[in-house]
A and B are shown apart, each in its own frame.
Chain A
C-alpha cells in the first residue's frame, strides 16, 4: 500500500438501510466523538478566547473565563506586534525554517534517489542507518551539540539552528522519499535511459514530478518540525535578537512577575498559525507524510 492510497478516501460502502442497531451505533459514535473533540479542542479554544480579552477581564477572577464578557478586543495582538520583539522572533524563525527546508529537501531528495534507485556498495546499510538516526531524539544530542556549536562560534546565533535542525528533518524525509521513489515503475527510468537522459535529467524530469506528492509531504514535515523545534533554541540561543518563536514566546515574552496572559496567548496563536494554515490547506499531504514512515519499507 502506498501513502497516496492511504490518503485517498475509502471506497464507498455498501448502501444499506439503516437498521435500528446501526442508527444507535451512529448516534453513540457521534456522542463520543463530540466528547473527544471537546477534549482535543479545549486548549486552542481557550487560547483564542484569552487572546481576545482585555487585561482587566483576564485578571478578573469572578467572571466565567470560558467566554468573553467585556467585548472582543485586538489590543493584545497590537501590543504583541508593537511592544515586543515578537516580529524579530517571527523573522528569525522564518529564515531558519526556509533555510532548513531547502537544505533538507536537496539533501534528502538526492540521497533518496540514489538509495532508492541506484544501488551502490553499502547502500542498504546506509538506508537502515538513516532510519536508526531518525529514532535518535534531539534530547539525546543537544548536550554534545551544545559543545560543538560553541566551538564553532555559533552559540547564540540562529545560523547555529540552521546547522543543527537538519538532524531533526533529514533522516525522516530521506526515509519517506526512498519509499516514494521505489514505488515509481522501473520502466520509466529505462525509457529515459534509452532516450539518452542522464541521471540528473532523470531525477529532475521524471522522478521529482512523479513523486511530487511525496516531496510535498516531506517538505511539510520539514517545515513543521523546524517551526516547532524547542530544545535546540532553548539550549543554544539566549539573546532576543537571535531568538526563535517557540522559545521567544514561552520565555522572553514573559516579563518580570506579571504574566500578560492575553498577550502570551496571542503570541502563541500567531506563532502556531503557519503550521495550522498549511495543515488546513494540505491536510491530505500532511497525513500522507505522517503515515508514510511506518508503512514504507
Chain B
C-alpha cells in the first residue's frame, strides 16, 4: 500500500491519449487506495462487531455445554420464566422513565442556561456536565455509598428533618427508583448539551418577530423553539433510548439485579446467566432480545441524521 501511495500522477507528459489513460489509471488507483485505507476499519467492524453479532445468534441455539444444537430452545425456555418477564418489565420501566426525565431535565436546564447572560453560560454548562464526564462505574460507586443501608447520607438528612429512613437499595421498588435516579443524574447533561447547541442554532430574528407580534414566552417556546428543535430532540431521545436500554454499569454495581431480581435489565441478566453462571448460550439469547428494539431505534436515528444533514446542508 505504501508503494501505491508514494506514486503520484504525472500530468500531461505525452499528449492527449497519455493523459486520458493517465486519468483512467488515476481513477482506478484512487479507488484502490481509498479502499485500502478502509481495510483496517472493515477488519475491525467485520471481525469484532458483525462476526460476534452473528456468532451470538449461533451461540444462542446451542445447549449449555455448547455440544448440541437445540434450535430455539433457549428462547422458549426464557419466555416460560417469570424472571425473564420481570426483566422485560423492568427494562421498559427503567428505559421509559429514565429517558423521559433525562429529556425533561435536559430541556429545562438548557433553557435556564440559555436565559443567562452569555458570559456566565460557559461556567454553568461546564459545571452541569460533570456527571457525564466521570466514568459511570465510578460515580455509581459513589451513589452506592450515598445509598448505603447503615451510613446513607440521604437518610441522615431525612432523619435530621424527622422523616422515616428509606431502604434505598434493599426494598425492590425503592431500588428501582434509585437506579433510575442515578441514570437520570448521569444522562441529563448529555441532553442539556444537545439542546443547548440546538437552541443556539435557532435564528434570533424569529424570536424578535414573535416579540413584535406580542407572543408570550410559552408561545415562543411552543411555536418557534419546539418546531426548530424537533429533529434534534428526536435524534437525542432515540440515541438515549438505545444507550439507556443497554445500560449495565449502574444496575450491576448498585444492586447486581437484586433484590429478588427486581432491578435486572437485559444487560445485567445476560451477564449473570452468561458469565457468572457460565451458561453462555442462554446469556447470548437474553442479550439478543435487545436486538429488535435497537434495530427499530437505529432505523429512525439514521433517517433523522440524514434529514438533518440535508437541512443544514
- Confirm or deny: B189 has a beta carbon within 8 angstroms of a beta carbon on chain A: yes
Contacting residues of chain A (253-267) with chain B, CB-CB under 8 angstroms: 259, 261, 264-265
- Confirm or deny: B291 has a beta carbon within 8 angstroms of a beta carbon on chain A: yes
C-alpha spacing A41/B33, complex, angstroms: 50
Contacting residues of chain A (172-186) with chain B, CB-CB under 8 angstroms: 174
- Confirm or deny: A290 has a beta carbon within 8 angstroms of a beta carbon on chain B: yes
Could you say which of B6, B145, B239, B290 contacts A47, with CB atoms under 8 Å apart? B145
Q: 0/1 per residue, A1-23, Cβ < 8 Å to B?
A: 10000100111110000000000
Could you say which of A29, A121, A135, A193 contacts B242, with CB atoms under 8 Å apart? A135
Which residues of A sit under 8 angstroms from B115, Cβ to Cβ?
A: 25-26, 29
Asked whether A119 and B145 contact (CB < 8 A) given A46-B153, A141-B53, the answer is no
Closest chain A residue to B47, Cβ basis: A148
Minimal beta-carbon separation of B61 from chain A (angstroms) = 13
Which residues of B sit under 8 angstroms from A249, Cβ to Cβ?
A: 137-138, 141
Chain A at the B interface: mostly helix, strand, loop or mixed?
helix
Q: Contact between B130 and A6 (Cβ–Cβ < 8 Å)?
A: no
C-alpha spacing A110/B48, complex, angstroms: 19
Contacting residues of chain B (32-76) with chain A, CB-CB under 8 angstroms: 32-35, 37-38, 40-42, 44-45, 48-53, 55-56, 59
Closest chain A residue to B34, Cβ basis: A118
Which residues of B sit under 8 angstroms from A136, Cβ to Cβ?
A: 49, 53, 294
- Confirm or deny: A72 has a beta carbon within 8 angstroms of a beta carbon on chain B: no
Closest chain A residue to B30, Cβ basis: A118
Q: Contact between A297 and B305 (Cβ–Cβ < 8 Å)?
A: yes
Q: Contact between A146 and B133 (Cβ–Cβ < 8 Å)?
A: no
Minimal beta-carbon separation of A240 from chain B (angstroms) = 17
Could you say which of A120, A198, A234 contacts B34, with CB atoms under 8 Å apart? A120
Q: Contact between B34 and A46 (Cβ–Cβ < 8 Å)?
A: no
Q: Contact between B136 and A297 (Cβ–Cβ < 8 Å)?
A: no
Chain B at the A interface: mostly helix, strand, loop or mixed?
helix
Minimal beta-carbon separation of A229 from chain B (angstroms) = 8
The count of residues in chain A whose C-beta lies closer than 8 Å to any C-beta of chain B is 110
Minimal beta-carbon separation of A111 from chain B (angstroms) = 4
Which residues of A sit under 8 angstroms from B52, Cβ to Cβ?
A: 141, 144-145, 148
Q: Contact between A139 and B297 (Cβ–Cβ < 8 Å)?
A: no
Asked whether A133 and B45 contact (CB < 8 A) given A231-B267, A276-B133, the answer is yes
- Confirm or deny: B271 has a beta carbon within 8 angstroms of a beta carbon on chain A: yes
C-alpha spacing A108/B138, complex, angstroms: 28
Could you say which of A41, A118, A131 contacts B302, with CB atoms under 8 Å apart? A131
C-alpha spacing A240/B290, complex, angstroms: 32
Interface size range on B against A: 35 or more
Which residues of B sit under 8 angstroms from A40, Cβ to Cβ?
A: 127-128, 130-131, 185, 188-189
Q: Contact between B138 and A250 (Cβ–Cβ < 8 Å)?
A: yes
Could you say which of A113, A137, A142 contacts B37, with CB atoms under 8 Å apart? A113
Contacting residues of chain A (44-103) with chain B, CB-CB under 8 angstroms: 44, 46-47, 50, 58-59, 61, 64-66
- Confirm or deny: A215 has a beta carbon within 8 angstroms of a beta carbon on chain B: no
Minimal beta-carbon separation of A284 from chain B (angstroms) = 9
- Confirm or deny: A208 has a beta carbon within 8 angstroms of a beta carbon on chain B: no
- Confirm or deny: A33 has a beta carbon within 8 angstroms of a beta carbon on chain B: yes
Minimal beta-carbon separation of A252 from chain B (angstroms) = 12
Task: Across the A-B interface, give the 8 residue pairs with the lowest CB-CB distance, nearest first.
Answer: A297-B309, A228-B135, A137-B246, A139-B267, A118-B34, A111-B41, A114-B37, A144-B52
A–B complex contacts, Cβ < 8 Å, 24 sampled: A10-B121, A107-B40, A114-B34, A123-B38, A126-B38, A135-B294, A137-B242, A139-B246, A140-B294, A143-B275, A143-B280, A146-B275, A170-B41, A171-B45, A198-B5, A230-B136, A230-B249, A249-B138, A250-B138, A272-B135, A276-B133, A276-B134, A290-B193, A294-B232
Question: Which residues of chain A have a CB within 8 Å of any CB of chain B?
Answer: 1, 6, 9-13, 25-26, 29-30, 32-33, 36-37, 39-44, 46-47, 50, 58-59, 61, 64-66, 106-108, 110-111, 113-115, 118-121, 123, 126, 128-133, 135-148, 163-164, 166-167, 170-171, 174, 193, 196-200, 224, 227-228, 230-231, 234-235, 246-247, 249-250, 259, 261, 264-265, 268-269, 271-272, 275-276, 279-280, 283, 286-287, 290-291, 293-297
Additional A-B contacts beyond A250-B140, A297-B308 (9; CB < 8 A): A42-B146, A107-B44, A114-B33, A139-B287, A143-B275, A143-B284, A261-B148, A265-B141, A296-B309
